[in-house]
Structure 1
Amino acid sequence: MNSYEAKQEARRQRYLDRADQARQEFEDTHERAHKMAEAIPFGQPILVGHHSEKRDRNYRGRIHDTFGRAFAALEKAEHYKDKAASVGHGGISSDDPDALQKLRAKLAEMENSQALMKAANQTIRRHKTDEARIAALVPLGFTEAQALDLIKPDYIGRVGYAPFTLSNHNANMRRVKERIAELEHAATRQHKEEQAEGYTYREDPEENRVMFIFDGKPAENVRQLLKSHGFKWSPTRGAWVRQITGNALFAARCVRQGLAELSA
């Protein structure tokens, strides 16, 4: 497990801990609401006009609110449980130190898949009967069930992999290649830090972040300038940051120009 994966696991565990806390809050609050409700005899109506009416209505209202807080806690528990389950399933992050290795492996897998789809289509075109097609597809690695499904005509009578499937897959490969090229270029970047009036500008390849670090809390117009160019406040870094990309570096130049104009 590398450092990024360790952070992801720690993040997942934090969500699970929050889910457990919320679940315990639900159980405690739900039990308290039940005990409150037990004080009212089953079927006991509010005695309208009786001196106890107002007190009874208020008490029943508190029971209702307590049940409401209990089920709100249950929803929170489910929310954090879902968040924990989603950690690590958002694709390959550029923050992962093994991102290049993983992307290259993914690209190789995609290229193999693309080659297999093309070979399957060629095989289907070459053979004219379903029996011959299935017999030729199985040695390529398809099961008989997969081969049978592949030669089944679609809604317009096409068999095999549709052209849009191949073109979409090719576009996805192109995006992965672009990410690999971007990360390879990022690996050659040097740490950069420059002092300016009221802030420090930093490009940190190790953190994979471009940062603006201010001497104090920046003014509202400065914060709006940063936000409008995609920078977010990072309490852990004490800086306004964006992940280093070509777009982020261009945005940083725009911010620096804007800061210069504001201080002029």
Structure 2
Amino acid sequence: MDRDERQRIRAERYRTLSLKAAQRAENAYQRSKSMSDVIPMGQPVHGLADRKYREKIWNTMGQSVKHSEKAGYWADKASSVENNTSIYLDDDNAVEKLENKLRELERVQETMKAANKIIRSKKTSELEKHDKLVELGLTESQVRKLFVPNCFGEIGFATCTITNNGANIRRVKQQLEKARTMKSMENKEYSIGDIDVVENYSENRIQLFFNGKPDEAVRDVLKKNGFRWSGYNGCWQAYINYSSRLFIQKIKENEGIQV
């Protein structure tokens, strides 16, 4: 199962939780409404029993509100997962995704530079500029906006926009190089005492397998060093980076995890 499939399953789980919470909210609301319907409009409180009954109505409505908030929370979580376009090095197709992203960023960069060269030319009429910008693939709306000076008094694409896109190109190139390197590396497996270690380059994780559940003190040390329990993989794992490698080196030196 690749990351995309895990993301889809996670989003579906959040959607299900949202629907269940929404149903609980509706049920609590209907209970509260049914309870309040037996009290005539404007009737004053009569005694302790009546007061407790009204408090129960209020608390039931409060449950409806809480469940509604939970429904919104899980719906937001689902949307966040569904709209997450980030590319992770442990994606099975990370190299392909990064190559596509790089091509698009470079295309946009070339388009912006070409557009600025056209629009800032003093030898070309506005009509000619318009036609050339459309030939670049820009829409009529985009072309009109380019002739309006920005907050820096520039026409065309802002210099900072081109600079930021260039920085993104360099970042994606570095990420792509790392993804290609990791894809070509073979996983390593070894043991340190009773801990089985896997340097899982296909998932960009260092994974620690224990014989049973480690005690609380060991779990605290793992968490402080960036390791988290993965129920899916049945191990404690962290991203492969300088910190996780240093932690593994310390385990080797001490022949185990020191608490």
- What TM-score do you get using the length of structure 1 for normalisation? 0.87
Task: State how 1:152-167 maps to structure 2 within 5 Å.
Answer: 152-167=148-163
Contact 1:242 1:248 in 2 (8 A): no
1:122 to 117, 120, 128: 117
Q: CA deviation at 1:135?
A: 3.1
Task: Decide which moves more: 160-169 or 246-255.
Answer: 246-255
Alignment CA distance shift 1:263-1:80 (3 Å): closer
**Match in the other structure for 2:92:** 97
1:15-43 C-alpha deviation (Å, 9 max, x unpaired): 11111111111111111111111222221
SS in 2 for 1:87: helix
- RMSD across aligned positions (CA): 2.3
1:173-203 C-alpha deviation (Å, 9 max, x unpaired): 1111111111111112222222122322111
Q: Distance in 2 between matches of 1:61 and 1:28?
A: 18
Alignment CA distance shift 1:192-1:28 (3 Å): same
Q: Distance in 1 between matches of 2:250 and 2:103?
A: 39
Q: Distance in 2 between matches of 1:46 and 1:11?
A: 49
- For the pair 1:55 / 2:49, whether they are aligned, the reply is yes
Alignment CA distance shift 1:33-1:254 (3 Å): farther
Q: CA deviation at 1:80?
A: 1.4
Contact 1:210 1:248 in 2 (8 A): no
1:109 to 104, 108, 111: 104
**Match in the other structure for 1:50:** none
1:186-234 C-alpha deviation (Å, 9 max, x unpaired): 1122222221223221112344421112223334442232222211112
Q: Distance in 2 between matches of 1:252 and 1:118?
A: 46
SS in 1 for 2:229: strand
Q: Distance in 2 between matches of 1:60 and 1:22?
A: 24
Q: Distance in 2 between matches of 1:29 and 1:229?
A: 44
1:147-179 C-alpha deviation (Å, 9 max, x unpaired): 221122123321112221111001111111111
**Match in the other structure for 1:8:** 7
Q: CA deviation at 1:248?
A: 5.5
Q: Distance in 2 between matches of 1:30 and 1:154?
A: 52
The code of the aligned residue for 2:121 comes to R
SS in 1 for 2:245: helix
Task: Decide which moves more: 119-128 or 11-20.
Answer: 119-128
Q: Distance in 2 between matches of 1:85 and 1:188?
A: 34
SS in 2 for 1:187: helix
Q: Distance in 1 between matches of 2:82 and 2:169?
A: 21
1:211 to 201, 207, 214: 207
Task: State how 1:162-241 maps to structure 2 within 5 Å.
Answer: 162-241=158-237
Aligned length: 257
1:83 to 72, 77, 80: 77
Q: Distance in 1 between matches of 2:253 and 2:28?
A: 52
Q: Distance in 2 between matches of 1:31 and 1:255?
A: 59
Contact 1:130 1:151 in 2 (8 A): no
Contact 2:95 2:176 in 1 (8 A): yes
Task: Decide which moves more: 212-221 or 253-262.
Answer: 253-262
Q: Distance in 1 between matches of 2:27 and 2:139?
A: 54
Structure 2 regions of 5+ residues with no counterpart? none
Q: CA deviation at 1:59?
A: 1.3
Aligned identity (percent) is 35
- What TM-score do you get using the length of structure 2 for normalisation? 0.89
Q: CA deviation at 1:259?
A: 5.4
Q: Distance in 2 between matches of 1:262 and 1:101?
A: 38
**Match in the other structure for 2:241:** 246
Contact 2:182 2:202 in 1 (8 A): no
